[in-house]
Structure 1
Amino acid sequence: MIQNLVLQNIAKHISLDENEISYFLSILKEKKYPKKSMILKEGEICKTINFVQSGILRAFYRDQEGKESTIMFAISDWWITDMACFINQQPAILNIETIEDSLVFFLQKEDLDELYIKIPKFERFFRIIMQNAYIREQLRVIQNLSLSAEQRYYIFLEKYPQVAKQVTQKQIASYLGITPEFLSMIRANKNKQAFS
């Protein structure tokens, strides 16, 4: 069953019986996206919360000058959306694109709301997912305020080694809030230290 990964993800936090699994799978939709597909564009209403079955996605903000700042990556077994816009059904402020060919499962907002009514334990599941995301982003803000770019880069490599292997240096730099050139200097310095 191709949905095993998403069911395993859910089972980390809640237990479902066969009828609940069956209902959940009946509202879960899937879509294959080629590399560089836009799943969500700023200004659109964010209608889905997405689970990455395979591939990798990137959420980013583009300022008025066109500079991109990566907000988050999502690899296999991760959830991603523009949460504020999804919950409030407002135009998106983020863009979400595929970095490589990706298979994504998703829930529509109205289906998720119905899921909460029919299987209330899903409220617990998504509360945990959102709490974890909030904690992660809070720590990231504190790191951005208190650590050097070099320290943040090493933490990124340690915390997300799989992501670091799958995305470009330019995308990592935009996640860290530095230029690709500065990241190259950090990496060169790291390589020097490794060989000294």
Structure 2
Amino acid sequence: MIEGPEDIPKTVNRTEAFHRIIPPEEIKYLQGICHSRYIKKNDFFIKQGDTLSPMAIINKGLFRVYCVDYEGNDKTLAFRKEEQFLSGYTPILKNQPIWYSIQALEDSLISYIEFEQYSTLLKKNFCWVELSHHYVIGLFMEKEERERSLLMDDALTRYRNFTQTFPDYTNRISQYHIASYLGITPSSLSRIRANSKNN
């Protein structure tokens, strides 16, 4: 498990994109500018309305990405766990406030750089542009699959796909947040889980 900036090189052996794209000297440079931050359960990495976002990797813990609709209901967009990236891309792409929040579901530890440092990295070496491109493509593919599932799959299929894709999440995430991610009510999720056990 990565525990701080000094352990960033270990990520290379577990993250294919880092290993393929980022040379050792750039990893060493990143190690020198990274900071560590402990985020308690239910505290926030970023909040809706923020205009800047650090770029971070999760060393330990679990986060959810969510927004609040016009009726005050929160809608879970995604979950992020160890060795995944955290960021709010809206200010970067559109120069607008972030429209979602990222909240810790567990006591968590991240390594991060500020937005200005990230901008410097992009200018310093093209490998960071390539890594960012790789990350954004991954986000697009995740978003596309989620939209397809919400439009075309029934609730039972969405639940089964969720448990198969993220088997460790069911023991780490509350039923309320899983239901929010699947686009159903907690009571509907309870029925689906009960039926799945009986079948």
TM-score normalised by structure 2 residue count:
0.90
Deviation at 1:87, TM superposition (A): 3.6
Partner Cα distance (1:5, 1:164) in 2: 27
Contact 1:85 1:93 in 2 (8 A): no
Gap runs ≥5 in structure 1: none
Partner Cα distance (1:85, 1:165) in 2: 33
Contact 1:49 1:86 in 2 (8 A): no
RMSD, aligned CA = 1.6
| Residues 1:130 and 2:130 aligned together | no
Contact 1:45 1:86 in 2 (8 A): no
Contact 1:48 1:107 in 2 (8 A): yes
Contact 1:13 1:125 in 2 (8 A): no
Deviation at 1:74, TM superposition (A): 0.4
Match of 1:16 among 5, 23, 30: 23
* Alignment match, 1:98: 104
TM-score normalised by structure 1 residue count:
0.91
| Residues 1:192 and 2:198 aligned together | yes
Partner Cα distance (2:23, 2:154) in 1: 44
Partner SS for 1:13:
helix
Contact 1:47 1:89 in 2 (8 A): no
Partner Cα distance (1:86, 1:28) in 2: 20
Percent identity reads: 25
Partner Cα distance (1:187, 1:154) in 2: 9
Partner Cα distance (2:34, 2:44) in 1: 20
Q: Which moved more, 1:147-156 or 1:22-31?
A: 22-31
Partner SS for 1:112:
helix
Match of 1:3 among 8, 14, 22: 8
Partner Cα distance (1:65, 1:140) in 2: 23
Partner SS for 1:64:
coil
| Residues 1:26 and 2:40 aligned together | no
Q: Point out 4+ residue stretches in structure 1 off by more than 4 angstroms.
A: none
Q: Which one-letter code corresponds to 1:182 in the other structure?
A: S
Partner SS for 2:48:
coil
- Describe the superposition over 1:110-168 as per-residue Cα deviations: whole angstroms up to 9, x where unpaired: 11111111121111111111101101110110111110011011101111112222111
Matches within 5 A, 1:11-160: 11-17=18-24, 19-160=25-166
Contact 1:75 1:163 in 2 (8 A): no
